[in-house]
Amino acid sequence: MLRLASSQSDFAERLKALLAFETAQDPAVDAAVAAICDDVKARGDAAVVEYTNRFDRMHAESIADLTLSRDELKAAHERLPAALREALEAAAARVTRYHEKQRMASWSYEDEDGTLLGQQVTALDRVGIYVPGGKAAYPSSVLMNALPAKVAGVGEIIMVVPTPNGERNDLVLAAAYIAGVDKVFTAGGAQAVAALAYGTETIPQVDKITGPGNAYVAAAKRRVFGVVGIDMVAGPSEILVVCDGETDPDWIAMDLFSQAEHDEIAQAILLAPSAEFLNRVEASIAKLLPTMPRRTIIEASLGNRGALIEVADLDEACEIANYIAPEHLELSVADPDAWLPKLKHAGAIFMGRFTSESLGDYCAGPNHVLPTSRTARFASPLGVYDFQKRTSLIRVSEAGAQPLGRIASLLAHGEGLTAHARAAELRLKD
């Protein structure tokens, strides 16, 4: 695993190289996705069925074979072992409680002349949730995408999830049941994204599509952006652990593993003001790695993109954290509240030694869909606010139209827009 120290003369350069990730879109993927989207737009259900049969090795005769009712979701929910069902329900309750605090409210105020200005908040009518199938089918992602929409008051939630070879995942379907998903189609890939964006005879057109997916899904989301809203286009998952050197090194090693086990391009970085502590974590990694079922992935990820970095002190660690703007920032220190004001850019901050990232991934309450690849500089976690939108309200009184009309008239003439000016002037009394 790469070892760096902030005191190295080429540290800034090496850090930049470590974080670099080729986000360029693949023209071959783009072309394939464009063809699929156009085909789904033109032929609807028939195209969705054909692509699904081909890519997911299914034998659907019509879209009906790819449709799951609430009853089927309920049956999956009932099939789960009680402990797992209760864990899902407990997670859903906590996630719901947190997200209820995010709900935006309308507001307005009046000027002295009776002119009203405000902002009306409304929920989206219908959203689509993309849930990956196969090896990365995560029920927790169903909760994290559907529950904020539910809390926002979205009218209808449509989920798409591929079921390669027809294999359905009961945990995923049970999570959809708990989260209040209205309809599920067992289709994925660009064809499912296109169906949600344009609508087919059977799959309703949605207003926004959220949820992670592979390169084809990401390219399709980019492509339909504008026709519908999308959440972010996510990059590889990342964790940055800042540790004062006093946390059990086994805990830190396992936290790094829990990011690295996602896939070979995930990134796990540790900053600590002690080379000796980094050595102890390295020893823990060596000790624990052989015990991990996903050790091949973890080893590749830590080898490709991981790093243990010695810093001068925690102040410097915070500066570096702000530059990295990580998706997950673990602040494994004695007094995390003291360091919080120095941290500006991160998707989520896990404060204190007992807050392993995995608690946040499943059940602490906040969303686990977070900005990656330094986009926490400008982006936020997925939230209720992604499923609400605002409308400006302006109600100008006759008295208010006088001063405002004169200002608007001057500025509109200044911009050469005479009709704008005249529209304001017609409302003037003199």
Residues between 262 and 291 that touch a second copy (CB under 8 A): 262
Coil, strand or helix at 420: helix
Other C-beta atoms closer than 10 Å to the C-beta of 46 total 15
Residue 362's alpha-carbon distances to 72, 82, 349, 368, in angstroms, are 24, 18, 15, 8
Where do the H-state alpha helices sit in 101-185?
A: 139-152, 170-179
Select the residue interacting with a second copy from 53, 75, 229, 319 (CB under 8 A): 229
Select the residue interacting with a second copy from 17, 83, 276, 290 (CB under 8 A): 83
Full 3-state SS string of 209-251 = EECCCCHHHHHHHHHHECCEEECCCCCCCEEEEEECCCCCHHH
Closest contact distance (angstroms) between CB of 390 and a second copy is: 4
Where does this chain touch a second copy (CB under 8 A) — which range of 41-49, 51-59, 179-187, 398-406? Answer: 398-406
- In angstroms, the CA 212 to CA 234 distance is 7
Q: Is residue 8 marked as binding?
A: no
Asked if residue 359 binds a second copy (CB under 8 A), the reply is yes
327 is an active site residue = yes
- In angstroms, the CA 252 to CA 332 distance is 8
Q: Is residue 191 marked as binding?
A: yes
245 vs 371, which CB is nearer to a second copy?
371
261 is an active site residue = no
Instruction: Look at the chain and count its residues.
Output: 430
Q: Is residue 413 marked as binding?
A: no
Identity of the residue numbered 253 = A
Asked if residue 255 binds a second copy (CB under 8 A), the reply is yes
- In angstroms, the CA 273 to CA 265 distance is 26
Closest contact distance (angstroms) between CB of 16 and a second copy is: 12
Give me the 35-74 binding string for a second copy, x by CB under 8 A, dash otherwise. Answer: ----------------------------------------
Alpha carbon 245 to its chain centroid, in Å, reads 31
11 vs 385, which CB is nearer to a second copy?
385
Sign (positive or negative) of CA dihedral 54, 56, 62, 63: negative
Asked if residue 355 binds a second copy (CB under 8 A), the reply is yes
Where does this chain touch a second copy (CB under 8 A) — which range of 84-92, 145-153, 158-166, 304-312? Answer: 84-92
- In angstroms, the CA 106 to CA 122 distance is 8
Asked if residue 342 binds a second copy (CB under 8 A), the reply is no
Where does this chain touch a second copy (CB under 8 A) — which range of 51-59, 157-165, 306-314, 370-378? Answer: 370-378
- Binding-site residue set for substrate: 237, 259, 262, 328, 361, 415, 420
Q: Among all residues, which ones are annotated catalytic? A: 327-328
